[in-house]
Amino acid sequence: MVLGMSLASYTAVHVAISLIAIASGLVVLYGLLKAKPLNGTTALFLATTVLTSVTGFGFPFMGITPAIKVGIISLVLLAVAVIARYPLRMSGIWRKTYVIFALMALYLNVFVLVVQSFEKVPALKAVAPTQKEAPFVVAQLAVLAAFVVLTYLTAKRFRAEPITLAKSVGRAA
């Protein structure tokens, strides 16, 4: 039992939260590529990604596992992303910082999705039973490469806020 739920129910809730985090994160990524902040979807992404990491700590474990390490790293990344986005309002360097840290947190969610897929999906487990085989390594390298490129493009495109006529008039006054 975890938080009054069977382990199976807790796992289902954790997976549902994780999938919402990934789906909303991909929408946020698209918005960032288009230089649109998508405030509501971003709040959903950040909240569910935090919940994914936090609920991950609820599983029974002994010692520090790779999953615990990923959860800790994710929470640190998310703390920086949330601070850069909300209290610091993505001003100056914090805009790029938000983008990079938010997308690194999304990458970790997708990384874990790939790991779990190769553990739970019979066809994938058959081709990479120990997760050291080429299909698993290629899948993870492809995800990493995609996120490196997308993070670079996003950080480049979602830079400083454009100066509008109203802002420049306000500065002159």
Tokens of 6: 């069977």
User: How large a percentage of the chain has pLDDT more than 90?
Assistant: 84
Domain boundaries, given as residue ranges, for the chain: 7-172
Burial of 20 (0-12, 13-18, 19+ CB in 10 A): middle
pLDDT at 1: 80
For residue 102, which phi and psi values (nearest 5 degrees)? -65, -40
Average pLDDT over residues 94-104: 96
For residue 125, which phi and psi values (nearest 5 degrees)? -65, -35
For residue 2, which phi and psi values (nearest 5 degrees)? -130, 120
Q: What is the mean pLDDT of the chain?
A: 92
Instruction: Categorize the per-residue pLDDT at 3 as very low, low, confident or very high, splitting at 50, 70 and 90.
Output: confident
SS3 5: strand
Average pLDDT over residues 11-18: 97
Distances (CA, A) of 84 to 12, 76, 93, 124: 31, 12, 9, 38
For the segment 138-167, what is each residue's pLDDT rounded down to a tens digit? Answer: 999 999 999 999 999 999 988 655 434 444
Q: Which residue has the tokens 């990384």?
A: 111
pLDDT of 38 over the 80 cut? yes
